[in-house]
A and B are shown apart, each in its own frame.
Chain A
Amino acid sequence: MSHSTKLMTSDRLRKILSSVPLHIVLIVITLLWTLPSVGLLVSSFRPRNDVFATGWWTVFQHPFDFTQYQLDNYISVLTTQGMARAFLNSLSIAIPSTVIPIAVAAFAAYAFAWMDFPGRQVLFVIVVGLLVVPLQMTLIPLLRVYNRLGLAGTFLGIWLAHTGYGLPFAVYLLRNFIGSLPRDLFESAYLDGASHLTAFFRLAFPLSIPAIASLAIFQFLWVWNDLLVALIYLGGTPDVAPLTIKLSGLVQSMGQDWQLLTAAAFVSMALPLVVFFSLQRYFVRGILAGSVKG
């Protein structure tokens, strides 16, 4: 072995050794971050008596002893505790509350980007200002109007509320995206006699699909995970209560029944986790674009 190769191997060894702390720190942090969720998942499959007698981590003494797991908790929360109903309610709330604001925002964003009208700049600056208005500012007056109009406790009411709260960000994001599309594209379309409606449906909308996808995931998760807006506008109506309300109600009424709480919590997280794992790329993009939202 020549002198130089010996030097190289010892160099490499030192490099590997010096990165050991780095790996340890990263792995420990990742484990710490994940343990709470693992505890939830494991507990949701354990029988009540086990959950109360021993910590959830004891299952890892015999991880493949499947007699210590069962599905009773899930069956119980889905049927008798009404989580299945709440799951459907969450869907009924979240899908329209995602689609309506995006549709309204897309048309407006097109106008802000490619149409000329007085007050265009000022109006858009107002939209930017509204991005961070705490929604607490709107609750009391809107609830009063809702009670008068009979919109409180209805799906329509909460769709429109989420539309209102989601719009500033949706318009902001889409306008920046649609406005950054190549100008030539639109100008030649107009020269060929395309109307604004045609330019919107044939150019602006299809080209903005990546931005719209990010926005849709963002808004969907926001609505799905929302507690406050649902509490305010649907509060007293159990028929239409989404998962978040149902779950926080269970925490208050059966705070010690961990086996049920953990199963119910996991039911409420299942869909966001699927969305998260299957569309992570778009999700990250939405987050990156959305770091100005209030």
Chain B
Amino acid sequence: MEALPASLSQILSTLLAILVGVGGIVLLYVVMDFLVGFLPDKVQQRVRPWVYVGPLLIILAFYLVYPTLNTIYLSFLDKRSESFVGLKNYIFTFTNPAMRVALRNNILWLVLLTAFSVGMGLVIAVLANRVRYEAVVKSFIFLPLAISFVGAGVIWRFVYAFKPGDVAQIGLLNAALVNLGLEPIGWFVEKSLNNFALIAVGVWLQTGFCMVVLSAAIKNIPVEVIEAARIDGANGWQVFWRVTVPMISSTIAVVATTVIIGALKAFDIVFVLTNGNRDTEVLANRMYKEMFVWRNTGRASAIAVILLLAVIPIMAANIRRFRAQEAMR
């Protein structure tokens, strides 16, 4: 137990850091506000707001705005950011065979992860809404959301575990296959299956999120609307497609957008489970490799810029929606 004093000092330093961090931040604002108090009244009114938003703006400028602009610039430079290469890095990302696999896989992730997470989330939300043990069902579906992608990776490595030959399978899926009289499958090796196996992990993680948000929207549909449809003779299926889905369509759009952004940036699951081997590469993992394995800053930056370009429509939609909300206030 020699580790104990070390951890004890670490606990103390953590506590100290929290105190200094939290206290320091609050103190910073209080002191700045106090100092502004010495200025003439008119100046005070002009300066004080900047005391409150200033730290935010400085942090955002340093951590988001400057690096974003810099990455765009770097994407036009070579490996070591020494000379200008024009569009060479972008041409590489769209022509190199390995990169094209990554692009294809990201599209697969985008379409399948979104379709299945939103679809399953919607179905479970609608079904659970009709039973008394709704809260229990939702808790269990929702639970993976609290788990890290890395943790989920371990869980699913074990589900997909494969032992070649005629031995007892310890992975759930292969044991099920063998029980049904089929051959066990190397889920991460089989090129026709491995991407789907990875995306399934994502669906397992994301469905809970979709379900919770959609369930809240479903509960906001006025009861009278559903009843009116029922009186008009609509069955459960028709109510679902003609009433429920149209009435929560904007929520479905928001949820789908969030999942799409997640799919674009998919990294942890691939990094932990296959590291992109056997045609399972995705853009974010490839970028990590370009950055740390091959040390090619230009290409890594170009991949990041492609991710940014992909979210720009979403960014524009968010801003438009925000403006509309503000106009209504």
Contacts and interface: CB of A to CB of B under 8 A. Distances in A.
A137 B271 contact: no
B284 interface: yes
A34 interface: yes
A181 interface: no
Interface of A: 19, 22-23, 25-26, 29-30, 33-37, 39-40, 43, 51-57, 79, 84-85, 88-89, 91-92, 95-96, 99-100, 103-105, 107-108, 110-112, 115-117, 120-121, 123, 125-142, 155, 159-161, 163-165, 167-168, 171, 179, 195-197, 221, 224-228, 231, 235, 243-244, 247-248, 251, 255, 258, 261-262, 264-265, 268-269, 272-273, 275-276, 280, 283-284, 287-288, 291-294
Contacts of B143: 33-34, 37, 273, 276
A127 B61 CA distance: 11
A99 B21 contact: yes
B206 to A, nearest CB: 12
Interface of B: 3, 6-7, 10-11, 13-14, 17-18, 21-22, 25-26, 29-30, 33, 46, 48-50, 52-53, 55-57, 59-60, 62-68, 70-71, 74, 124, 127-128, 130-131, 136-137, 139-151, 153-159, 161, 168-172, 175, 204, 207, 209, 212-213, 216, 254-255, 257-258, 261, 264-265, 267-268, 271-272, 284, 287-288, 291-292, 297, 300-301, 303-305, 307-308, 311, 314-315, 318-319, 322-323, 326, 329
Contact of B141 (A19, A29, A197): A29
A67 B297 CA distance: 55
Contact of B168 (A25, A53, A265): A53
Nearest to B174: A55
A117 B140 contact: no
A95 B14 contact: yes
A103 B291 CA distance: 33
Which of B30, B53, B144, B258 has most A Cβ within 10 Å?
B53
B49 A235 contact: no
Nearest to B170: A55
Contacts, number: 319
Nearest to A226: B148
Contacts of A197: 29-30, 33
A55 B65 CA distance: 51
16 contacts: A30-B141, A35-B172, A37-B144, A52-B170, A55-B175, A103-B29, A107-B53, A125-B323, A134-B261, A136-B287, A142-B63, A227-B272, A269-B151, A272-B146, A292-B318, A294-B311
Q: Is the interface of A mostly helix, strand, loop or mixed?
A: helix
Contacts of B25: 99-100, 103-104
The 4 tightest CB contacts between A and B, nearest first, are A164-B63, A225-B148, A111-B52, A138-B67
A137 B64 CA distance: 8
Contacts of B161: 258
B159 to A, nearest CB: 5
B144 A22 contact: no
Nearest to A29: B124
Contacts of A120: 49
B11 A88 contact: yes
B283 to A, nearest CB: 8
Contacts of A159: 21
Nearest to B312: A132
A258 B11 CA distance: 30
Contact of A51 (B67, B147, B170): B170
Contact of B56 (A85, A141, A167): A167
A40 B21 CA distance: 37
B80 to A, nearest CB: 12
